[in-house]
């Protein structure tokens, strides 16, 4: 629940992100330019003036159809892409889980990938080693699995290891983008309980899922994005009901 004197952990103002569709520099484009058959790439606006805040100790759900801008917002928050315009102010360490196994190297073992992922977050090696067994236990992996290259893992095993890393290392802001889609219902329930514990402990959560039940269980408020714009933001039950009504009709 939002707490800690309503201090904002994430502040987003006037966020825009534009992409250019089509090729830029290649042999084919050079030839077409010479033949005067070249057309400038088409700009595409993934985000168009997005504003919102996330308070400390608050879980904010983000909903929207594919292409609405959800993942772009999270990528900017994680620092993997930059906005075209506007600003996003983030206070504290961010642990981003933007997709199952993102940042993992298939040739590295589970143990080595935990070290790599946590090191990229500037977590000290001694802390990583201290938490390694807890990561393995949360992920429900055998010792031999941790010594196996992750390219041999099932998608469920990769998802469990991804999530376990986030649960075992401290952060101020946790970002979850559809990371529970390929795990069984029992593990999903454990993860949702763990996310609520993080929230109740004062961490901020950004949670993206097409599963409205999960959003309702975890989130205090919901941000509804529609074609790169904020459609509505407010209490979870109210926004989910409005969102599902609109898209049930449009579907």
Q: Is the dihedral of CA 189, 193, 198, 199 positive or negative?
A: positive
Express each pLDDT in 154-210 by its tens digit. Answer: 988 998 998 898 888 889 999 998 877 777 888 889 999 999 999 999 999 999 988
Pairwise pLDDT comparison (1 vs 180), residue with the higher score: 180
pLDDT recorded at residue 247:
85
* 30, pLDDT greater than 90: no
* 243, pLDDT greater than 70: yes
* 42, pLDDT greater than 80: no
* 39, pLDDT greater than 60: no
Express each pLDDT in 107-139 by its tens digit. Answer: 999 999 999 989 988 889 999 999 999 999 999
pLDDT recorded at residue 251:
46
pLDDT recorded at residue 185:
87
pLDDT recorded at residue 61:
97
Mean pLDDT of 18-22: 74
CA 50 to chain centre: 17
* 234, pLDDT greater than 90: yes
User: CA–CA separation, 201 vs 226, rounded Å?
Assistant: 31
How many CB atoms sit inside 10 A of residue 120's CB?
9
Phi-psi region of 195 (alpha: psi -120 to 50; beta: other; left: phi over 0): alpha
The helix/strand/coil state of 186 is helix
* 18, pLDDT greater than 70: yes
User: CA–CA separation, 58 vs 219, rounded Å?
Assistant: 8
Pairwise pLDDT comparison (3 vs 248), residue with the higher score: 248
Helix intervals (H) in 64-154: 70-78, 110-120, 125-139, 143-146
Q: Say what the pTM is.
A: 0.84
């Amino acid at each position: 629940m939002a707490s800690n004197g309503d201090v904002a952990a994430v502040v987003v103002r006037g966020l825009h992100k534009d992409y250019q569709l089509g090729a830029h520099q290649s042999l084919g484009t050079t030839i077409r330019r010479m033949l005067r058959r070249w057309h400038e790439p088409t700009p595409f606006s993934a985000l168009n003036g997005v504003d919102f805040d996330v308070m400390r100790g608050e879980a904010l759900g983000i909903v929207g159809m594919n292409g609405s801008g959800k993942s772009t917002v999270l990528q900017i928050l994680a620092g993997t892409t930059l906005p075209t315009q506007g600003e996003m102010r983030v206070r504290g360490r961010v642990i981003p889980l933007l997709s199952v196994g993102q940042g993992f190297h298939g040739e590295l073992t589970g143990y080595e990938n935990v070290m790599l992922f946590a090191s990229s977050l500037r977590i000290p090696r001694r802390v990583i080693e201290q938490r390694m067994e807890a990561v393995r236990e949360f992920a429900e992996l055998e010792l031999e699995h941790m010594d196996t290259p992750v390219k041999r893992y099932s998608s469920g095993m990769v998802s469990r290891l991804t999530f376990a890393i986030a649960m075992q290392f401290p952060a101020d802001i946790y970002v979850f983008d559809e990371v529970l889609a390929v795990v069984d219902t029992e593990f999903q329930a454990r993860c949702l309980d763990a996310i609520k514990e993080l929230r109740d402990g004062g961490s901020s959560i950004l949670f993206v899922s097409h599963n409205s039940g999960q959003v309702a269980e975890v989130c205090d408020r919901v941000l509804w994005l529609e074609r790169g714009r904020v459609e509505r933001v407010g209490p979870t039950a109210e926004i989910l009901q409005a969102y599902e009504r609109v898209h049930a009709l449009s579907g």
